[in-house]
Every structure is written in structure tokens, then in C-alpha cells.
A and B are shown apart, each in its own frame.
Chain A
């Protein structure tokens, strides 16, 4: 049964999928479809969709202890990938037909070897992503994308035509456009949809085939625009910047402290849908350009020869600054996971950038677990009181 057939509202269905993420993927598996798991925003989902494969975002479980992973992974591993590995070892991802590993960061790159050694999937592939987004890197990365395409073709036994890729790009661009439209509904005061609700929506969207997700979001937008039970107005409007945050309880805790998260630059957030794939010329080049250049993640170096520090800061954080302006925020919360080096290195610069624009900033370094949020709550409460 698809989400729509359940008879619930779109928001209700998102909550339902959120609580039982793999239900739809398992249904589709039973119908003979293939499902590939992927990490982070750098997975070219369009290629999978074009190949008739359902992309399924791998996430951890922030409410579960990492009892198994702790015996395999060093103490200084990113807690998010640790949790992913833990739930995978406990069987959560046994249904996957394949996994794509982008070389996004040290943690993912190192996890790849440990994961592959301990769990076998019919298909596994590592996509090598340059650290800089220039023309030479684009050439290298376009070749990488073609190699990935060939590997997928070999696995499914069918060539993936340009027409299928174009169609997939259009589907995923629609997905991005719909999510941006949903985010527009957070500009009002109070926002039409709460941040904790948005997390549920995004997690649900990342667990469905893109066409179904699009249908769900379109319906959701309609519901949210018409809703009479708009979330209450809270005291402060916040921007949230940082890493993987896929548990609604964290933003729920912020809401309990009297703040609305109205805009974000997070992995499960705008980072993966803020820009469309620009369709001009060869679709594989268009996809490569998008995934190399358009995703605003700290893992990509955005300076250039001759750039001043301020110019470089603008290239790294300008989009975030623009979000802050448009969504009329009053403060920013930088959320980093422990041992996420690329984000952690950025914190002092990002803090300065936002403070220079007049926004108070709170940095929370977190361990991904939402089991005990009280210590964080104290800090957020104090931050909200300070802004008021």
C-alpha cells in the first residue's frame, strides 16, 4: 500500500513513514524492485532513478546505543556513521541491493573498508569526489560519474540511456523545487510548518521513490497552506547550520525552548535540494557539475588563487548569509557532530561571519544521540533568553 492509499493526511503519512522508514522500500523489494543505499548529499540519485533503482538514504538511529559498532570502530569515529554501521550490523539494511560510497570525508572513507569487510551487498561502489570544484576537477569527476554509470549498467544488465537520465533529472529537480516551496512556507511568522515536522518530511522523502515523494510533498504543501492548526508562534527565529541531523527530537527540543528553526543548511535539509541540476548539454556533465559544484558542504574547498580571505568566506558562507536575511532570523545555531573535521574546522569562521552580520551564534557539538538532551537544552534555553 502506498502512503496515499492509507487515507491519512500528508503530514500524518510523513510521520508514519518516518517511524517505519523502510516499509515502502521493502514493499517495492517484494515487487521485484532494486534498492540502493546511499550516504550524504553527494550521491547522484538521478543515476539510480534512471536505472530503475530506488535510492534510499542510509541513516542511523539516534535513540539506540551503538553497542555493536563500539566493538568495531575506534572511539574517534563520527557518531553518525558509527550509528549507521551499528544499525546495519543489526540487520536494518540487509534488504539493500547495493551501497554507494562517496569519498565525502575521512569518516565515510574509513568506514567504507570496515563496512565492506563485515557486510556483503550485491553491489558496492566508491565515488571519488575531488575536493575543489574547478574545471580540472569537473573533468575528473565527470569520468568518475561515467565509471559509476558503467558499473550500475553492468549490475542491472541494461544500458542507461540519456533519455532516462534526463527524465530522472526532471523528476529530482521537481523534488528540489517542491521542497524549496515547502521552505517558503517557513518564512511567515509563525511558520506554517515547524522545523521538527520538516525533519520528518525530509526523512520520509529520502525513504521513497522520487515520484512518490513528489506526490507526497505536493499534497503536503497544499495541506500546510490550508492548515488551521498552524504551529504556535515562538519567541525566536533561528537558522541552523551543520551536519547530519535526522531525528526530529533535536529540533523538537529547540522548539520546546521557545525557538523556531525556520531555515537550515544541514545535510538532511537545504544542502541537498537548494540548487537544481542545470540542464544544458550532455546530462551526465550536467549531473557531474551539480554534484561537484552546487552542494554547499564544508568538505569542498572553495578558495581560489588570488582570493582574499573575505572573498573566500563569502564563497563558503554567502548562501547561508542570504538565507538568514530572507528568512528573517534572529540567531543562528551551529550544529556539528563530534569528529566531523570539515565542519568543525569551519566553526570559528562561520561564527565570525554570522556575528559580523549581527546574528548571535550558539555552537553545539553533539554526539548524534537524542536519548539525553537535557544538557543541550540548558544551553539552548539560555541562548533563546539572550536573544529575546
Chain B
């Protein structure tokens, strides 16, 4: 890789909480384990966010996710390089940069015959199988097909329907979606049993679901503390602390982590300690994906008295207490309850009521969105900007850049827009009536 591929100058973020700073060690451990899974008699599945981690865990299968490796490569400033490799293989510049990082990485492994030196954290592991849910976005079921160009491993793509928001209040309709997903999960179990040679341990699965509920509750309660004045969880922390929830669901370590996180931010909230030193000048909601290659953007805002908050990877709503007598059905059921990461389908549309509620409850002065250019699930931000302007009572800034591909990002331009936006927020804040 040439030096030109590495962009310099984008500052990494400085975390506000110990829990967020600790995530670096979790990531290191996670990739270390993936890269040594076979030494433990475990397996690695090239996969996608949205898969039921609890089921994978029961079989000793570690999901290796491009949606996580992409942001990691972005933070290490090598995402542009891997995207470029994928584009050299014929994949369009417009395709999801998370997934193109995955493709570029696999292509480089093929070229080198080993994990390339530029791959952070020792790479994405030795892939034993490919599993993906056809849900949420088109890339989720197309990526496995593309990945097979490089790793032709047993593949299982299962259909999981996005629940349209206009059907979400119809219990019979929701049950129909849950039942369908349940049947797909049975197929997933059959695939995992045949590829790993193990049988499903229902008791272990039930235990995993119960642990997930515990960590989810703790994470949920911690996220609620963003409502405090001052807010103890700025977005640079928020985009870090989600990691255990995304990758260690259903484990005691995950429960312990969120207990520690909750205790830490609760103590800060009780003591009136926030991320912004002194008074919070503005409270800004960051809607959607961040620029992973420049999480320091939140520190830039913080230095200007801005308290940032987001809900992108938050715990979200609390599902009902699951019936653990059939843990597989419980997993299918909770996928369609409320809004939390993993049942994202309901997030895409009809967001305005949720946004208005968030603005009121979190006392928001302005909204910033990143129109992540390669994310097709994320293409209604301009529409929501109009809605927010009409009904939200706050100004909105849309930044045009990618979430993972650093090549389209201009720090100077973005900072200029942020500075101008804060002036606008100042004017609106003076006019605000609520």
C-alpha cells in the first residue's frame, strides 16, 4: 500500500467515560479471538449485523462483520485503500463502503495468500462459513454472493422480512412476521448443526437470551441518562460503547460491562458532570451514522460547547420479557418489538414522531445528519430534514460524506459547515418556545 492511501490529520476521538475508553481492549480481544477461533475449536462466519448473535454463540460461531471491520479500518485510515481494491475488482464506487472494505480485505488476502500487513487487528479471521440475513438493506444478501468470489464456503442466506411501519400496530400482522422469522431460524439452526457438527443446546440458548435481556436493560437505562443536563454520554462515547452490545450479546461479560457503564454514567449524572466543561451551550442530536474515520468531530463540537447525543446504536426500546420455554421463538419475537438495533426496518420510515419526541425529551437545539453516500438504507435524510424544519422546530444540517470511505471527506469543508451551523442554532435557540 502506498503512503498516498493513508490520510493523515483526522484526529481520533477522546472519550469522556472510562467505559468507552475500555472498548479498545474489547475490540482487540474480539479480533484476537476471531483470529484464533480454530485454536479453541470454534468457527468463524462471515456475516452481517442483524443476525441473532445468541444462536451463533450457542454453536461456538463468531460472526465476522464487515459493518464492524469497515469502521475499524476507517478509524485506522485504511478503509479507502480496501474500498479501492474492491473497486479495482469491479465493484462500484457507490456500493456500501462497509461491505467494500470486507470485499477489498478478502481480495487482498487472496493476492497475498495471507492477511495483508495493512489489515488492522490481524484481519477478519479464517472464514468457515457465510451467513447473512436478507433484511434491512440490499447489501445484506448481495455481499455474501460477492464474497464467494474470494471464499467459496458453505453459505446460508435467509429471508427475514422488514416489518413495514404501517403494520407495526397490528398484532396479527406482527405475529405473521415473527412466525416467518421463526421458521427461518429453524433453517439457520439446521445449517449451523450441519456445518459445525454440533446440536442446538436449548438451555444454553435460553440462558443467552436471558443475559441479553439483562445487558439490554442496563444499556437502555444508561442511554436514558443522555437526557440529563449536562449529558454524560457524548457521541464519541456512544459510538464506542455499543460495541459489546453488538458483538457480545448474551454473555455475562456483556452484562458486567453495561453494569459498569451504567454505574459510571449514573454517578456522573448524579454529580452533574457532563462531557462539556461548564455549561452546555447547545445540545445537538447526531442522526444516523457517524464518519468513522473522524470520530474526533465530536470533540471538535465539544470544544465549542456542544453536547452531542445520538441514538443510532443505542439500546433502544425494551422488548417484552421473553418466554424462555421456546428461546428460538423468543428471539424471533423480540426482533419485531419496539425499535432497537437489529430490528432496524422500522427505523427507516415514519421517523418524525420519534424524532419530535427525542427533541423534546432530550432538549435538543439542532440536528446534524451524515448523508452517508454509500448507504442506501440511509437515503431519506433530506425528507426528514424537511419534516424537522416543518414540525420539529429545530435547524438541521446535512453533511455529505461517507460513513466509512475517507476518500470523499473534506475536514476543512465540514468544519466550516459546522461553524456556520452553530451560528444558525444560536439564532434558533433564541427563538425557541418549548
Q: Is the CB of A128 within 8 A of B377?
A: no
Question: How would residues 348 to 380 of chain B score, 1 for a CB under 8 Å from any chain A CB and 0 otherwise?
Answer: 111000000000000000000001111111111
Residue-wise interface mask of A (43-83) relative to B, using a CB-CB cutoff of 8 A (1 in contact, 0 not)? 00000000000000000000000000001111111000000
Comparing B10-18, B141-149, B330-338, the segment that makes contact with chain A is: B141-149
A126–B145 Cα gap in the complex (Å)?
27
Asked if B90 is at the interface (CB within 8 A of a chain A CB), the reply is yes
B191 at the interface (CB under 8 A from A): yes
The answer to whether B90 and A336 have CB atoms under 8 Å apart is no
Taking CB atoms and an 8 Å cut-off, the chain A residues in 92-119 that contact chain B are 103, 105-107, 109-110, 112-114, 117
**A299 proximity list for chain B (CB < 8 A):** 138
Contact call A106/B380, Cβ cutoff below 8 A: no
Q: A76-B373, A344-B91 are in contact. Are A136 and B162 (CB under 8 A)?
A: no
Complex: chain B residue closest to A81, CB-CB:
B379
Which of B142, B187, B377 is the one whose CB lies under 8 Å from A345?
B142
A347 touches B91 (CB 8 A): yes
Does B161 sit at the interface, judged by CB under 8 A? yes
Residue of A nearest to B183 (CB): A136
B interface residues, how many (CB within 8 angstroms): 55
Residues of A within 8 A of B161 (CB): 128, 130, 140
Is A140's CB under 8 angstroms from B180's CB?
yes
Which A-chain residue is minimally distant from B380 (CB atoms)?
Answer: A110
Partner of A74, one of B141, B148, B381: B381
In the complex, A303 has a CB within 8 A of chain B: yes
- In the complex, the chain B residue whose C-beta lies closest to that of A306 is B154
Q: Tell me which residues across on chain B come within 8 A of A303, comparing CB atoms.
A: 144-145, 155, 157
| A351 cross-chain contacts in B, Cβ below 8 A | 90
Are the C-beta atoms of B148 and A312 separated by less than 8 Å? yes
Are A345 and B91 in contact, CB atoms less than 8 angstroms apart?
Answer: yes
Question: A75 to chain B: which residues have CB within 8 Å?
Answer: 371, 373, 400
Q: In the bound complex, do residue B376 and residue A106 qualify as a contact, i.e. CB atoms below 8 Å apart?
A: yes
Given contacts A299-B138, A309-B148, contact A76 B374 (CB under 8 A): yes
Task: Find out whether the CB atom of B159 lies under 8 angstroms from the CB atom of A106.
Answer: no
On whether the beta carbons of A305 and B96 are closer than 8 Å, the reply is no
Does chain B have a CB within 8 A of A189? no
Is there an interface contact between A72 and B382, defined as CB atoms closer than 8 Å? yes
Q: Check A301 against B183 for contact (C-beta < 8 Å).
A: no
Q: Is the CB of A74 within 8 A of B142?
A: no
Asked if residues A74 and B96 are in contact (CB atoms below 8 Å), the reply is no
Task: For residue A40, give the distance in angstroms from its CB to the closest CB of chain B.
Answer: 14
Contact A106/B379 with A75-B371, A351-B90 known, Cβ cut-off 8 Å: yes
**A105→B139 CA distance, assembly (Å):** 10
A89 contacts the other chain (CB 8 A): no
Which one of A103, A105, A143, A347 contacts B92 once the chains associate, using CB atoms below 8 Å?
A: A347
A301 touches which of B145, B187, B380 (Cβ 8 Å)? B145
The residues of B that contact A16 with a CB separation of less than 8 Å are none
Verify if A348 is at the interface (C-beta below 8 Å from B).
yes
Contact assessment for A72 and B94 in the assembled complex, using a CB-CB cutoff below 8 Å = no
Interface membership of chain B positions 149-174, coded 1 if the CB is closer than 8 angstroms to chain A and 0 otherwise: 10010111111011010100000000
How long is the Cα–Cα vector from A76 to B95 in the complex, in angstroms?
10
B134 within 8 A of A: yes
Check B92 against A344 for contact (C-beta < 8 Å): yes
Which residues of the partner chain A approach B348 to less than 8 Å between Cβ atoms? Answer: 109-110, 113
Question: Does A150 have its Cβ within 8 Å of any Cβ on chain B?
Answer: no
- Chain A residue nearest in CB terms to B166: A126
Give CA–CA (A306, B137) in the complex, Å.
Answer: 24
**Residues in B neighbouring A130, C-beta threshold 8 A:** 134, 159, 161
Q: Take A136-B184, A348-B91, A349-B145 as given contacts and tell me if A341 and B379 are in contact as well, using a CB distance cutoff of 8 Å.
A: no
A274 at the interface (CB under 8 A from B): no
Residues of chain B within 8 A of A316, CB atoms compared: 145
Contacts of A305 in B (CB 8 A): 154-156, 187, 191
Check A276 for interface membership: any CB of B closer than 8 A: no
Contacts of B166 in A (CB 8 A): 126
Chain B residue at smallest Cβ distance from A147: B173
CA distance A349 to B144 in the complex (A): 12
Scoring B138, B162, B380, B381 by chain A CB atoms within 10 A of each residue's CB, the highest score goes to: B138
Is A110 within 8 A of B379, CB to CB?
yes
CA distance A113 to B377 in the complex (A): 13
CA distance A338 to B183 in the complex (A): 35
Determine if B304 is an interface residue (Cβ-Cβ < 8 Å). no
Q: How far does the Cβ of B163 sit from chain A's closest Cβ, in whole Å?
A: 9
User: Are B149's CB and A143's CB within 8 A?
Assistant: no
B383 contacts the other chain (Cβ, under 8 Å)? yes
Once A106-B138, A301-B157 are accepted as A-B contacts, the answer to whether A128 and B152 lie under 8 Å apart by CB is: no
Q: Which residues of A contact B138 (CB under 8 A)?
A: 105-106, 299, 341-342, 345
A363 at the interface (CB under 8 A from B): yes
Among residues of B, the one whose C-beta sits closest to the C-beta of A308 is B152
Cβ-defined contact, A341 with B155, below 8 A: no
Inter-chain CA distance A321–B161, complex, in Å, is 31
Q: Which B residues are within 8 Å of any A CB, using their own CB?
A: 89-92, 94-96, 134, 137-139, 141-146, 148-149, 152, 154-159, 161-162, 164, 166, 176, 180, 183-184, 187, 191, 348-350, 371-383, 386-387, 400
30 A-B contact pairs sorted by A residue (CB < 8 Å): A72-B383, A72-B386, A73-B379, A74-B378, A74-B380, A76-B374, A76-B375, A76-B376, A76-B379, A77-B379, A107-B376, A110-B380, A113-B348, A128-B164, A131-B159, A132-B158, A140-B176, A306-B154, A308-B152, A312-B145, A316-B145, A339-B94, A341-B95, A341-B142, A344-B91, A344-B94, A347-B91, A348-B146, A363-B90, A365-B94
Q: Other CB < 8 Å A-B pairs besides A73-B383, A341-B142, 19 of them? A: A74-B371, A74-B379, A103-B164, A110-B348, A113-B380, A126-B164, A130-B159, A131-B134, A132-B134, A301-B134, A303-B145, A312-B145, A338-B92, A339-B376, A341-B138, A342-B142, A345-B91, A345-B139, A348-B90
Closest 6 CB pairs of A and B: A345-B142, A131-B134, A348-B90, A106-B376, A113-B349, A341-B138
